[in-house]
A = this chain, B = another copy of it.
Amino acid sequence: MFRYELASATGLDGLRKVDFEPAPLGPTEVRIAPRAWSLNFRDLAMPRGGYPGNRKIQTDPPLVPLSDAAGEVVEVGAAVRRFAVGDRVCPCFFPDWVDGELEESQLASALGGAADGVLAETVRLPEHGLVRMPANLSFEEAACLPCAAVTAWQALMLARLTPGQTILTLGTGGVSIFALQIAKLAGARVIITSSSDEKLERARELGADACINYATHPDWDVPAREWTGGVGVDNVIEVGGAGTLERSLRAARVSGAVSLIGILTSPEQNPSPMLALFKRLTIQGIYVGSRVMFEALCRAIEAGDLHPVIDKTFGCESVDDVRAAYQYLKSGSHFGKIVIAR
């Protein structure tokens, strides 16, 4: 059995493919054989040691990378009730966060960060940390869901998405495109930003109602507000980081929401929270989501026949294949998701 490991926190040079001996299953565990994986922006941080809380890579390398996969159940523990061999499933980003609010103890289960991830020929997981794939998706499409799509789902649902709301989503990465697709599925209007007119055109084809090129409109919050008739947007899917948060707060309506998702890279640009106060904003930290949220997302995907947008698919044969996927993500030129497949 093969798996990939990040041997140390010294960069992608530490990525290696190794053989491993699968451990026997506990009574409530399930073994899955991933058929496809996907990358997320957070995965770029792991080769450098991750961010606070990713103890595995920091204190006990190597780390098996990646949180996102889709595959088949190949073995079940003696007491497993929810799954059978042959079931098509995805792992949950936090296998221990089943329902309700995230608790501190569940953080340690984050795949490919606090805990070993899924870039392996087989993976052992607790049955409570798996969901059934949407029936309308291929393995490659379903592999896009666990981190980015669940994040977009939680961000939209915590702020009580309703038809007719206006959502502003920043950029065209995985979370943003899922937010666009889910919000359209739910009858909302969507404003999207990008520095590329070509990407904006693709977003428009996916249903975006308004497209703002932030290169030519660096004050993108102003046209966003104008597009809502001066009211402001109901929820900003804020994936951009310190450089954008101040504008996101401006773009939101009074009593609106800003869903904080982005991994911030320039802390010196921290925004003033004064606007949050005087506009009675909710700034909601979003950290992926629970299994129950993932299951609800799967129902929505099936009901609306939503298909994740895959930008490019890489192989999993060699370290070079996998490294190429990481480097493509790093280049930032993608639109939607980057997949690795068998």
Contacts and interface: CB of A to CB of B under 8 A. Distances in A.
Interface of A: 26-28, 51-53, 79, 98-104, 107, 157, 160-165, 182, 185-189, 231-232, 242, 245, 253-255, 260-264, 267, 270-287, 290, 292, 296-304
Task: Select the residue from A162, A186, A284 with max chain B CB neighbours within 10 A.
Answer: A162
5 contacts: A99-B101, A102-B255, A104-B232, A163-B300, A164-B301
Given A28-B28, A283-B282, A296 B231 contact: no
Contacts of A53: 278
A260 B278 contact: no
A283 B107 CA distance: 20
Contacts of A26: 27, 79
Contacts of A245: 273
A242 to B, nearest CB: 7
A278 B182 contact: no
A16 to B, nearest CB: 28
A232 B341 CA distance: 36
Given A101-B255, A285-B279, A163 B185 contact: yes
Given A242-B272, A264-B273, A273-B283, A164 B299 contact: yes
Contacts of A262: 277
A298 B51 CA distance: 35
A278 B106 CA distance: 12
A157 B301 CA distance: 20
A260 B285 contact: no
B287 A285 contact: no
Contacts of A254: 101-104, 107
Contacts of A278: 51-53, 285, 287
Contacts of A304: 163-164, 187
Given A99-B101, A282-B282, A302 B164 contact: yes
A195 B44 CA distance: 44
Nearest to A78: B26
B104 A164 contact: no
A278 to B, nearest CB: 6
Given A26-B79, A162-B300, A187-B185, A99 B98 contact: yes
Contact of A264 (B272, B285, B298, B303): B272
A255 B296 CA distance: 14
Given A164-B301, A186-B162, A100 B102 contact: no
Nearest to A103: B254
A278 B261 CA distance: 9
Contact of A161 (B162, B260, B301): B162
B274 A267 contact: yes
A160 B160 contact: yes
Given A101-B255, A164-B296, A280-B287, 18 more contacts: A100-B290, A157-B162, A161-B162, A162-B300, A163-B185, A163-B303, A164-B297, A164-B303, A185-B187, A186-B186, A187-B187, A188-B303, A245-B273, A260-B273, A263-B277, A270-B270, A270-B273, A273-B283
